[in-house]
Structures are given as C-alpha cells and as structure tokens.
Chain A
Amino acid sequence: MNRKYDVIVIGGGHNGLVNAAYLARAGKRVLVLERRHVLGGAAVTEEVFPGFKFSVCSYVVSLLRPEIIRELDLPRHGLEILPLDGTFTPMPNGDHLWRVNDHAKTRREIARHSKLDAEAYDEYGKAMIDMAHFVKPVMNMTPPDPASLNPKGLMDLLTMGRRFQKLSADDKYNQVQLMTMSAVDFLDQWFETDVLKATMSASGIIGTFLGVRSPGTAYVLLHHYMGEIDGAFRSWGLSRGGTGSISNAIGDAAREFGAEIRTEAPIAKIILKHGRARGVVLENGDEIHADIISSSVDPRLTFMKMVGAEHLPTDFVDDIKRYKFRGSSGKVNLALDALPDFKCMPGAGPHLRGAVSISPSVEYMERAYDDAKYGRYSRRPYIDIVIPSLTDPSIAPPGKHVMSCFVQYAPYNLKEGTWDDKREEFGDTVIDTIAEHAPNMKDIILHRQVLTPLDLEREFGLSEGNIFQGELTLEQLFFLRPAPGWAQYRSPIRNLYMCGSATHPGGGIMGASGRNAAMEILKDKK
C-alpha cells in the first residue's frame, strides 16, 4: 500500500529534475525515481578517486536555459557558473591557436595566422548572433506537426515562415546554409586558417556520427552564440563543484516545491491499464501508482523495455527502432599530480584554464571520422580537454588536478573485438595523442577512468552510449524528434510523456526538454 502521486518522473537527470520541479511548482504531487545512487544522470559529479571529484560525463555548461535558472531560482539553490575562458589548440608545427573571450585579444591572435580571417571573424560573430536570435525562440517551442491539420501547428509553421521572410537577404542566405551545410564548407566561406576551421567545426560533430565535412553539421556552430545572447554567462562555463551541482540545485528546487526524489530505484516496467499509463513497477517488485508517467530516459528504454512493443502501434515501434543512437564518443577522466606542459606553450599559463582542443587540422578531424565509419575508434581522435580544478580548486586535493577528456570518435559498434577488451587500449591512444603535444603527460597521471560508449550505456542508461539520447541530425530534430508525429512530448500511450534529451530541442545541459514537456503535461492536466 503506498501513497498515490499525480506524476512519476522516470530518471533523475537534469531534464527529469527540471520537469519535476515545474510540475511540483504547479502543485502536482511528483515522485522522481533515479536508478543510480546519485542524482544527475549524465550531469553528475562523482568522487571517482579519493579526493578527486569528476564531472564524469557532461563537463561544461553552455545552453542551460536562463529562464530555468531564473524561474527555479537556481543560484539560491547553489548553482554557480564559473567562466571557462577560451579554447587553446596546440599545433604539431610548434604554433598554436588560442581564442579567448576578450574579443580584441582573439582578433590579434587570429591576425597572427591571417589578417583576412581577423577581419572575417568580426563579420562572422555579428552574423552568427543574428542567426542565434532567429533560432532562439524555437528552443522553447513545442514542435508543430506539419502532417496534422491542427490550426495551431499550422499557425506556428506560418509564423516561422514569416519570421524567416523578414530576415535580411544575407541572413536568409546564412540561415539556409547553417541548416544544410557541413561545418567546414560553411567556415570555408569565411576563413582560410585551417586550424581555426578545424577547431570551430569540432563543435559541429560532438555527439554525432558525422564528420566535419558532413552536411548538417554547420548549425551546431550557433550553439556557441546562444549562450552569449542569453547573457546568462559567456559561451562556455563550468559549474562549481562539477556538473552534478547543477542537478543538485535543480533537485533542491524541486524538493522545495514539494517533489519527492528517490535514488537507487530502478524501474522494470510501466504499468498499463486499458492502454493508459497508471504507474511503474520497480525492479524490486514494488508498484507505485500515478496518473501521469513522465519519462526522461531515452525512447528505446521507455518504449521497448518499460512499455513493450506489443502495447504500441507498429508504425511507432518501427520509428523507435529506426531512431538513431550510434554513440560516437568516449570520456577519459584523469587524476593528475601536476599540470600538463604543452610543447608549443610551456608552463601552467592561463591557456590551461580554458578548453584545450586537440584539433590541429581539418584533415585530422576528417580522418578521425573515417576510422569510425569503418568500425574502429580514431587512431588519432579529436579530444576536448578541460582542467576544471584550475578554476574550481574544491574538486581536487591541493596541488593536484582533475582533467576531463572528451574523445571522439569511439563508435559503439566495433568491427573487431569488444569495448571490454579495447577499453584500456583506447585509453592509451587518448593519452598518447595528448602526449604528442604535452610530453610530460604520461608521468603526471595518478589515476585514470576510461568510459567507452558501452560504459555510458551500462552505467548511465544512454542507449548505444549516445550522450544526447539520440543523434542530433536534421532527420531527428524538431518535429522529427524522437519520431514524426510524436514530437510534442506525448506518446501513443495516454498519460505517458517524454521529457528527456530525445525530445526537442535535444541534448546538452539545456533543460528545455524537461521544461517544455512540463508545459504540455500541465496543458493536458490542468
């Protein structure tokens, strides 16, 4: 016999918690059930090695919606974003590219490589900010269904069309290109410096199974400018105490609104009665009932595992089976005794306080992708390195450091062998790659944690290890996410909703999915 809830939120990741917080805020009795012992899902801080606290998966914040920060009063609940200043790209020829938030400095730095590019960089920045302004409202919008005759949806589409029409000729041109072109093709039109294009285009491939030359990768370039225009903080930031403290802040907000949160409560099944979701069965057999189930886990887990294909329309099942995950990235977390010393810029300078990007050339990036296409991890991967302990000493013992390496490509499906055999070999490849730029690397490692796509699936419930709960490719965005006709946070099962990154607008610590879903649920269940 257990108390009845209005809503059960499946998964205590940042989206599930945002969803719960908004529902609780609206007076619903909400229960959040998290499989693991810690809250946060992929936005989690864990003390993997004594004294060293890691943002195990997601490690930077850029897109957390400012309205969420405001409406949930997250700063009061302990959210503090520290600036992550700049991106440093070491080059094999002993040179480097170091872009920082200080515009004038960056301009001078780029001018070192190309005067033309320095000019273009300003133009580019202006253009991208215009674009970001155009795209921003779409983030908080429930995608209309173009195939339905629902007048509201048609109106929304029409409004979008009108807004596009109102853009200046150049903005229209840029917008079309951003939505369709490859990051490199797009950047080729602006810049000539290879290392600049390589580093900028990297943001276009993160979490996808695409290369920097694959069409559709350009639009992600916008994300960098979203953060800027929101004015919440500059493009990239770190959360004090690791990304887990974002989840904890949201969790506290949710609790304050009356939500109940349980960890170590893995769910086996969603209970259906007469085709409606009525509750959940935990793996320990407990049944908990609620009028509404809101799932923040990905559609494969929600529908194939917890609901069961037999209860769903075949077309929908086909769509979910077709929905592409194919994780392409891994993570290597290192506990360091000292700081890495880069050949091209020796010493513990401020260049280590930003992101260090191993992306020396466009060809390097593309070749990394070629390996993945044929089923092996990149022999020389793209690596995005952050040393948060420099900005936030609280996460490592005095004098020691925490280093987070995001690695691409690491395809979930290997042509030869399994990730369990290849894990350490993969870790070595990452260290070797970094050591080519920072020779002291191998001597300063105290501990290392290697996360393969398989580990991301097992540990964090991300199917096929996709960090965005499904590829962020055009055919899986907006009104196609996660399936055409089901992009409005609802599902074929009445009272079963989706609120995770597998819904519009998708991955990244944004929270928009959780918030949008809450709005839809409240629309249905006033």
Chain B
Amino acid sequence: MPHDIIIIGAGHNGLITASYLAKAGLKPLVLERRGTAGGACVTEEFHPGFRASTLAQTTGPLSPQVIRDLSLKSHGLEFIKPAVRVFAPLLESRSICIYEDAKRTADELTNVSAQDAKTYPEFVSTFARIGRALAPLLTMTPPDIEKLARAELWGLGKLGLAIRGLGKKDEYRLLRYGPMAIADLAAEWFETEPLRAIVAACGIFGAFAGPWSAGTSAALLLQAATDENAIAPTTFIKGGMGALSQTLVKIATRNGAEIRTNAEVASVSVRDGKATGVVLTSGEEISGRAVISNADPRTTLLKLVDPAEFDPSFLNKIRNYRAIGTVAKVHLALAELPHFPALANGDSDEKLSGRIHIGPDIDYLERAFDAAKYGDMSPQPYLDITIPSLTDQALAPAGAHVMSIHAQFAPYHLKDGDWNTRREALGDIVVKTLSDYAPNLNEYIVARKVITPLDLEETYGLSGGHIHHGEMSVDQLFAFRPLIGWARYRTPIEGLYLCGAGTHPGGGVTGTPGANASREIIKDLKRRA
C-alpha cells in the first residue's frame, strides 16, 4: 500500500504526528525541505569538532504522554537533567541560582533575602498546584465554540472541577494572572530584583513583549501546566536536540512511515475544496488523501495554498496572525570554560550546567524590548545561555566547550539596514554583553555562528523568524490558535491539517501539538476510510 498521507516538514511535531499515524496503521510520507530531519530540533557541527543544538536548546519539557506512547526511552533517547534550572550571574560578583530542589534554592536565597527565601517554596508549590489543574488543557483539542460537543463539555467540565478544586484563593490567582504583566506578578511574590527578572524572563521568552506588557503572565501559567513549575527546567537530550529527531525518525519509519529529505513542497494541490496532494519544487507531484502541515500557519495557508481557495475574511484573519520574531541565536566554540567572577571557583561546573540567565533586573529586560519596538536590536540584550558540553562531553573536543546563546531582542523587521549586513554586529553585541559577566570570554572563542531572525525564516522556514510559529499572546492561544473557529488542527480545506507549534498548545519542544493533531486526524481518516 503506497504512502497516501503527506506530512509537510520533519520537525519534531511532524515526526511525532507521523509516528502516531504510522502506529495507527496509516501510511504517512514526511517531506523535509532540508537535508536533515528535525526542523528546529537539530544537532549540527558549526565548527570542526563542535556540535550544537542549532535552534531549540532544551525540551519544553517533552510531554510525558508522548514519551510513553512512543516509548522514546526504549528507543535509546536519553534525557540529561542538571540539578540547576537557572543560574543568574550579576555584576559585582553576586549571583542567584534556581535549583531543581526548591529547598536548596530557598536555602541559598537566604543570602539575598530572607523574605524571598521564605516565599520561594510557596511560589513553587502554588504554581505546581495551578499547573496540575491546568495540565489537562494542554492535551485537549480546543472546543468548537460554535457548538460544544458533549465530549468537549465533559472535558471542560472536568477542567472546571479541577480548577474549583484549587479553592478560591488559587482560582482568583488564576483569574488575575491570566491578563497580568509578568513584572507585576513577579513583584507580588519577590522583593529581590534579580529574582523578579528570572521569573519575568519566563514571560517574554521568544515573545514580542517586555515584562511590562500585559498578558505576559499567561506564559508562566502555560509553563506551569507543562512542567508543574513556572520556571522552566533545563532538560537536555544526549547528543543534542537532533538526537530526539533521529529517535523519532527511527520510530516513525519502523512503524511504516517514510521520511524524504531534500524534498521541498512548493504547493498543496486542492480540488473542489479538498486537499489532493502536493507539488515539490522539483515539479514532482505526489498525491495523497490527506495533507498535514508541520510548517507554521502563515507558511502553510498563505504560501503553499492558492489564496483563491479561501474566503476573503479567513484570508484577512490569517494575514493578521502575528508572527514577528524577536530571537537570534549565537553559538560559540570555546577553547575552555570561561570564568564567571560571580562564581566561587569549584562550583562552576554545576552552576553553569543549567540555563544561564543574563538580565539582572526588570528594567533591563524592558529596555531590551524597547529597542525592538522601534525596529532595532537591543544594545544590551536579554540572554538565555546553555553550555550543553558540560553534561554531554561528546559535543565538543576534550576540555573545550559549546555555548549556545538565545538572544533577545532582535526584531525581524529592522528600521535601518538588514540582517545580512548586521549579522556580525549582532554577534558582537551578544559577546560584549556576556563579557560583562565573563570578562575573559573573548580569549576562549574559537569560532562563532550567528543566526538572525532572517536566517530562522530562510534556512529553517519559520515565517517572520518566529520560534513559536506565531506570537503566544492571549489572542493567539488555545481556542484562538491559530484562529478562532480553526483551532482544532483542521483548516477550511478538507483534508488539510496543521500539526505544528502554530496550533494549541503552541511552541516549545513538548510534542503536544503533534500528538493532539494526530488524534484528530486519525479520527477523521478512520471515519472516512
């Protein structure tokens, strides 16, 4: 039996969808533009002997359900979870460190603020409680607002009860936090500015927003639902994020899916409002009874499909779907581990093994965002850094290290110049900013790779260079992602589906959009078969 279901894009969500479909006895064919599968989850050698997770640095974390359903671990996938979540070096040789262990974190916080040390465990348990109550939301297909099916009412009812179960105090928190600015939320909990900044960073990661932007707290709630902790964990994958993609390729193919690389889809073929297949840039036509796109909504619906297939109002809405990237990446090949004066000698290896946060206070983060509003890169960007080679030596030559830097804000639209001419200037700003905290950094840099928002679009196919396939703002979440009325992985074109981060529950390497989408697709295809 030929492969009759086409999946556009071999990103982690595309591969997860392929795996679920194949396990269900369907025959998916995954078409990947690039030479390697993985999309934003790839491990690439950017300098001889130095390999980095090019885009995504850590998992979101990956949904336990996906890990179970696809038995990822028994297929050799290894997670690396350092004891440190976030380490924030400050100037004048102070620092703050958030560990997996709340108690250990609290104990260390006593050095900066007795008050915050006292509050931190409550902060953790509160968001764990709220997160657990919200978790079912992630794996649920957003309800059809027009006509709620009984099953959906049941699901929502269960969710409602779970939230009621939290008790009034948490319920009210939930109601208030949703639309709130993360800066206000952080200030409600903590008095130490750097700690506030660490919390605030979770609200603006990958977003076109600053800590003072209303609605940024929603990201924190979403993170809590994913991880039961508002402050995201650092979960690496042995061999880099590419290893996840390779494992998924193995699982998909083993179950009968086929994955073709260097196969770029030029357009989706539509007849009488039904998707009938795709045409590759090579001109090759491939027919299928369903086409599933892991590409972002703008690429899928505005680039790959003939606009004449949509009614104007839908077209207008999808054109207004916001996906303006603000993130750049810088990878450094380092001869040795740079020294952070904020660290006492000895505990470097552990403290640097998680994520390193650069952005000492709320105003610093907000100022970084201000630049983006006016179409310029931040003179002092917010940095989220990992040194995966500390816990996965194989990524770099012995003694040497790989440093991957997520830098904000680097707006996709520049007021002056373009990203091709300003790429190195961006790299310099990032290195200079980090050098304030690691003075000898420059001496150790063997090689540097800078990835601008434009590269994210051109090389990795993220329209607008948006790492989440579209802004994760309240108006583009859950039943509104990507559009109200079209949040159920289906599109106005029968047989054309979305399965990427542009669908609920959105970006981050969780695999949940792919898992949810495949559930809906299998329902449809089995019904039609």
Contact = CB atoms under 8 A, between A and B. Distances in A.
- Of the candidates A169, A322, A366, A485, the one having the most CB atoms from chain B within 10 angstroms of its own CB is A169
A146 B169 CA distance: 12
A215 B188 CA distance: 20
Nearest to B320: A189
B238 interface: no
B214 A177 contact: no
A470 to B, nearest CB: 14
B436 interface: no
Interface in B320-368: 320, 322, 363, 366
A420 interface: no
Interface string B167-189: 01101100111111000100010
Contact of A216 (B169, B214, B317, B483): B214
A485 B168 contact: yes
A214 B475 contact: no
Given A366-B373, A479-B175, A176 B475 contact: yes
Nearest to B176: A475
A484 B474 contact: no
Given A173-B317, A213-B373, A363-B374, A322 B188 contact: yes
B481 to A, nearest CB: 11
B485 A169 contact: yes
B212 interface: yes
A315 interface: yes
A170 B172 contact: no
Nearest to A168: B313
A484 B172 contact: yes
A172 B212 contact: no
Interface string B200-213: 00000000010011
A173 B164 CA distance: 28
Interface string A204-247: 00000010011110000000000000000000000000000000
A357 B473 CA distance: 30
B126 to A, nearest CB: 14
Interface in B138-193: 145-146, 164, 168-169, 171-172, 175-180, 184, 188
A324 B177 CA distance: 14
Given A373-B366, A484-B175, A215 B213 contact: yes
Contact of A473 (B171, B179, B320, B373): B179
B484 A374 contact: no
A485 B145 contact: no
A114 interface: no
A220 to B, nearest CB: 13
B203 to A, nearest CB: 12
A215 B214 contact: yes
B370 interface: yes
A363 B164 CA distance: 43
Interface string A463-490: 0000000000111000110001100000
Nearest to B217: A475
Contacts of B215: 180, 215-216
A485 B474 contact: no
Contacts of A485: 168, 172
A480 B176 contact: yes
B184 A324 contact: yes
Contacts of A164: 145
A214 B212 contact: yes
B26 to A, nearest CB: 32
A48 interface: no
B475 A180 contact: yes
B146 to A, nearest CB: 7
A185 interface: yes
A189 B320 CA distance: 6
A434 B168 CA distance: 50
Interface residues of B, number: 36
A181 interface: yes
A415 to B, nearest CB: 10
Contacts of A479: 175
Given A185-B322, A374-B363, A474 B214 contact: yes
Given A215-B473, A475-B179, A165 B145 contact: yes
B480 interface: yes
Given A165-B146, A170-B313, A366-B373, A473 B175 contact: no
A457 interface: no
Contacts of B320: 189
A147 interface: yes
B153 to A, nearest CB: 12
A474 B168 contact: no
A171 to B, nearest CB: 11
A370 interface: yes
Interface in A478-525: 479-480, 484-485
A443 B495 CA distance: 71
B484 A172 contact: yes
Interface in B452-482: 473-475, 480
A376 to B, nearest CB: 13
A506 B200 CA distance: 29
Contacts of A173: 317, 483-485
Interface in A316-374: 322, 324, 363, 366, 370, 373-374
B171 A147 contact: yes
A404 B172 CA distance: 40
Interface string A370-413: 10011000000000000000000000000000000000000000
Contacts of B180: 474-475
What 7 pairs across the A-B complex have the smallest Cβ distances?
A: A474-B179, A484-B172, A180-B475, A216-B214, A180-B474, A215-B215, A147-B171
Given A215-B213, A373-B363, A474-B214, 8 more contacts: A172-B485, A173-B484, A173-B485, A180-B473, A181-B475, A185-B322, A213-B373, A479-B175
Interface of B: 145-146, 164, 168-169, 171-172, 175-180, 184, 188, 209, 212-215, 313, 317, 320, 322, 363, 366, 370, 373-374, 473-475, 480, 483-485
19 contacts: A147-B171, A164-B145, A165-B145, A165-B146, A169-B484, A169-B485, A172-B484, A173-B483, A176-B480, A177-B475, A180-B215, A180-B474, A215-B214, A366-B373, A474-B178, A475-B175, A475-B179, A485-B168, A485-B172
